[in-house]
């Protein structure tokens, strides 16, 4: 009896499968075919996300190159300038800093040394001279901090808004699917496959743009914080050096 029921049901299942296949046979899922099926709003969403991905990639490459250069030159700069200062050669320390212009430490230390040297090498070191050098260091730190964070605000914006832009494309795709159902007066897979694929593509593209942007924004932010600590330490050590020099004279 069970065999007889299966014999009766299997042809219906086979015909149902052929019906779904026929409904979806005219729908291609390659990127060019999905792009051709997209409406103007969905295409606009994809174009915006593509521009955002290019901008994000440009910021990532620029910050990676800048941070690597700053790290490399700072490692070379720190021992050289420390040696020059131990010997009391301020001019040599400034020259070392000039040769490492991409170093975040060199920019800060140079500002303090130049301000300190502007008072002249002769005579006693006054408290005003030290305070002026300290303010120059603080100004330089703020400027370098702004340089280090350049572009990161845009990266954060891309990471936070790209999923919502993709979601907007999803809503448009779903509306397109329902519109196709209403137009064709059919609820088959073929009637809604185009709109659903359009919705999924924009969602996936939005996430693809946002996830790397968020991850690398956090990574670069941690880098900037580490550089800020290094600059603070270098500034404090330089001010201590000035104070020691004033006590010796």
Instruction: State the pLDDT at residue 123.
Output: 58
Which of the residue ranges 44-48, 81-85, 122-126, 148-152 has the most confident prediction, judged by mean pLDDT?
Answer: 148-152
CB-based contacts of 151, cutoff 8 Å, min separation 6: 59, 62, 63
- Rounded-to-10 torsion of CA 66, 68, 72, 77: 30
What is the structure's pLDDT at 118?
A: 78
Q: How much of the chain exceeds pLDDT 90, in percent?
A: 32
Task: Over range 223-249, report the average pLDDT.
Answer: 85
Residue 196: both structure tokens together: 């659903």
- Per-residue confidence (pLDDT) for residue 150, from 0 to 100: 93
Least confident of 7-16, 28-37, 142-151, 217-226: 7-16
pTM of the model: 0.76
Average pLDDT in the chain = 79
Mean pLDDT of 225-249: 84
Where are the alpha helices (H) located in 87-188, listed in sequence order? 90-98, 104-117, 127-148, 152-184
Tokens of 245: 């020099």
- Which pLDDT value is given to residue 187? 54
Phi, psi dihedral angles at 25 (to 5 degrees): -70, -30
> Would you tell me how many other CB atoms lie within 10 Å of the CB of residue 36?
11
Residue 58 has pLDDT above 80, yes or no: yes
pLDDT of 33 reads 67
pLDDT of the residue at 194: 60
pLDDT at 24: 43
Q: Has residue 119 got a pLDDT over 90?
A: no
Closest to 137 in 3D by CA, of 235, 234, 26, 4? 235
Q: pLDDT band for 4, please (50, 70, 90 cuts).
A: very low
Span of 7-16, 68-77, 226-235 with lowest mean pLDDT: 7-16
At 25 the pLDDT is: 43
């Amino acid at each position: 009896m069970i065999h007889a029921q299966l014999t009766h049901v299997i042809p219906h299942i086979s015909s149902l499968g052929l019906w779904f296949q026929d409904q979806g046979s005219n729908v291609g899922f390659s990127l060019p075919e999905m792009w051709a099926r997209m409406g103007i709003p969905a295409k606009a969403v994809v174009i915006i996300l593509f521009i955002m991905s290019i901008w994000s990639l440009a910021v990532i490459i620029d910050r990676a190159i800048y941070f690597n250069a700053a790290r490399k030159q700072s490692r070379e700069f720190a021992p050289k300038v420390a040696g020059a200062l131990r010997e009391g050669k301020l001019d040599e320390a400034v020259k070392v800093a000039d040769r490492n212009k991409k170093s975040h430490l060199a920019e800060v230390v140079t500002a303090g040394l130049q301000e300190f040297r502007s008072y002249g090498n002769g005579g006693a070191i006054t408290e005003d001279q030290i305070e002026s050098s300290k303010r120059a260091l603080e100004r330089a730190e703020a400027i370098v901090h702004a340089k280090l964070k350049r572009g990161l605000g845009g990266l954060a914006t891309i990471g936070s808004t790209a999923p919502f832009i993709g979601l907007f494309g999803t809503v448009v795709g779903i509306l397109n699917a329902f519109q196709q159902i209403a137009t064709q007066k059919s609820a088959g897979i073929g009637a809604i496959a185009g709109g659903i694929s359009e919705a999924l593509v924009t969602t996936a593209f939005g996430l693809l743009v946002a996830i790397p942007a968020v991850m690398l924004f956090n990574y670069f932010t941690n880098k900037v914080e580490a550089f800020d600590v290094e600059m603070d330490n270098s500034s404090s050590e330089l001010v201590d050096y000035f104070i020691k020099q004033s006590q010796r004279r």
